[in-house]
């Protein structure tokens, strides 16, 4: 047995300041999901959580089906497992397994789209449905029968400590209360709100700080952008430019999470959604091109942030012309024998 860690309590509103991953209850109760491992069910809960970002940003295909981006590296980091384990868990959830997700590769170095399937299953065919029976009205309680009534058998089965006193004297630590004597089997309250992002109850709507929500959003965009640009490969190719590359990523994350309607690019106001969309389409080649171009600049730049922002935004439209001019220059030098 591990030793007691003597952890502290939650005080005041501290218990409401954290966000939690949600695993659907049906994955643990429906017999048709019994063959799915607990690790795969936890991974499905992580994928469901990522759906919130997709819904907020309108990431839907032509058929209005919501998709997410969630890499093996994300699973390895959050599940604390290796690559083989992450691959096995994805296969367990994929169409070759239980079918809770569907992965579609985009090609050309673009991240794989993941469609998270609805976990609600229809009733099994031929399953009999028991009609609910109305329980008889309880007998009126009097002082005499309250004192002389023997202890219910249900209380004996649910109490952690054997009881010999009447039910009303049951200890506070005796577990669940004895159920009513009805023919209903599933008497627990079920969570019928199956939405991905349930509304926050009014008393706790302000419990979670907005700064925490913004940090979560920035972390998700940071992971997505690094995946799009093959950040680890860029670090391998440019080991001395780590701070510069990290600055590019943080600048793009800042724009993607901006609440402003417009972003100033090269002196012009551009809709934030347009800038955000272009940044999310940047690839490894675009970032390498910007890094090379800015390193060759010899003029004094007074506002380096605005200059870098414009370079990143214009990278998809200028990269072709840049390398075409380099090829022409090299050919001209070769022809001149230089």
Beta-bridged to residue 270, according to DSSP, are 263
Q: What confidence score (pLDDT) does residue 296 get?
A: 81
**Could you tell me the CA-to-CA distances from 48 to 24, 55, 202 in Å, in that order?**
9, 11, 24
Tokens describing residue 143: 């002082």
The answer to whether 45 and 23 are in contact (CB under 8 A) is yes
The answer to whether 280 and 219 are in contact (CB under 8 A) is no
Q: What confidence score (pLDDT) does residue 19 get?
A: 64
Tokens describing residue 13: 């509103």
**Could you tell me the CA-to-CA distances from 23 to 17, 121, 327 in Å, in that order?**
19, 15, 55
User: What is the Cα–Cα distance from 234 to 237, expressed in whole angstroms?
Assistant: 5
**Residues with Cβ within 8 Å of residue 242, at least 6 apart in sequence:** 235
**Residues with Cβ within 8 Å of residue 248, at least 6 apart in sequence:** 287, 290, 291, 308, 312
Q: What confidence score (pLDDT) does residue 159 get?
A: 47
The answer to whether 51 and 68 are in contact (CB under 8 A) is yes
The answer to whether 31 and 52 are in contact (CB under 8 A) is no
Secondary structure E strands in the chain: 101-104, 113-116, 262-265, 268-271
Q: What confidence score (pLDDT) does residue 338 get?
A: 57
Q: pLDDT truncated to tens, each residue of the chain (338 aa)?
A: 566 667 776 665 555 555 677 888 889 998 889 999 999 999 999 998 888 778 777 888 888 888 998 888 889 998 999 989 999 999 999 988 889 999 988 877 678 889 999 888 777 666 555 444 555 565 555 554 444 444 444 444 444 454 554 444 444 444 444 555 555 444 444 444 444 444 444 444 454 566 777 788 888 899 999 999 999 999 998 888 999 999 999 999 999 998 889 999 988 899 998 999 999 999 998 999 898 888 888 788 888 889 899 999 998 888 877 666 655 655 555 556 65
9: how many CB neighbours lie within 10 A of its CB? 6
Q: What is the DSSP string of 224-260?
A: HHHHHTTHHHHHHH-GGGHHHHHHHHHHHHHHHT---
**Could you tell me the CA-to-CA distances from 147 to 181, 210, 245 in Å, in that order?**
20, 55, 77
Tokens describing residue 293: 């171009």
Kindly report the backbone phi and psi dihedral angles of residue 323, in degrees, each rounded to the nearest multiple of 5, phi listed first: -75, -30
Q: What confidence score (pLDDT) does residue 192 get?
A: 43
User: What is the Cα–Cα distance from 297 to 313, expressed in whole angstroms?
Assistant: 17
Tokens describing residue 277: 């969309």
């Amino acid at each position: 047995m591990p030793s007691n860690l003597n952890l502290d309590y939650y005080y005041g509103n501290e218990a409401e300041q954290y966000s939690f991953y949600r695993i659907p209850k049906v994955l643990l109760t429906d017999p048709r999901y019994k063959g799915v491992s607990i690790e795969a069910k936890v991974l499905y809960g992580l994928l469901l959580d990522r759906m919130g970002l997709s819904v907020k940003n309108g990431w839907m295909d032509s058929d209005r089906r919501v998709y997410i981006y969630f890499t093996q590296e994300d699973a390895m980091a959050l599940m604390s497992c290796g690559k083989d384990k992450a691959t096995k868990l994805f296969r367990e959830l994929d169409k070759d397994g239980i079918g809770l997700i569907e992965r579609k590769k985009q090609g050309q170095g673009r991240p794989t789209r993941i469609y998270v399937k609805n976990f609600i299953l229809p009733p099994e065919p031929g399953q009999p449905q028991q009609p609910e029976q109305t329980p008889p009205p309880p007998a009126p309680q009097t002082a005499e029968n309250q004192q002389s009534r023997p202890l219910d058998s249900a209380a004996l089965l649910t109490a952690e400590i054997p009881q010999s006193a009447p039910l009303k004297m049951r200890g506070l630590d005796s577990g669940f209360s004895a159920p009513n004597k009805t023919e209903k089997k599933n008497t627990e309250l079920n969570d019928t709100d199956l939405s991905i992002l349930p509304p926050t109850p009014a008393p706790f709507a302000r419990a979670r700080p907005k700064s925490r929500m913004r940090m979560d959003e920035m972390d998700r965009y940071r992971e997505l952008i690094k995946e799009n640009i093959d950040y680890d490969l860029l670090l391998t190719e440019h080991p001395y430019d780590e701070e510069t590359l990290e600055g590019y990523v943080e600048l793009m994350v800042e724009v993607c999470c901006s609440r402003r309607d417009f972003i100033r690019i090269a002196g012009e106001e551009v809709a934030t959604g347009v800038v955000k969309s272009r940044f999310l389409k940047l690839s490894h080649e675009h970032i390498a091109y910007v890094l090379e171009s800015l390193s060759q600049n010899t003029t004094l730049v007074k506002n380096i942030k605005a200059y870098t922002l414009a370079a990143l935004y214009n990278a998809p439209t200028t990269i072709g012309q840049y390398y075409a001019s380099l090829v022409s220059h090299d050919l001209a030098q070769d022809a001149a024998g230089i």
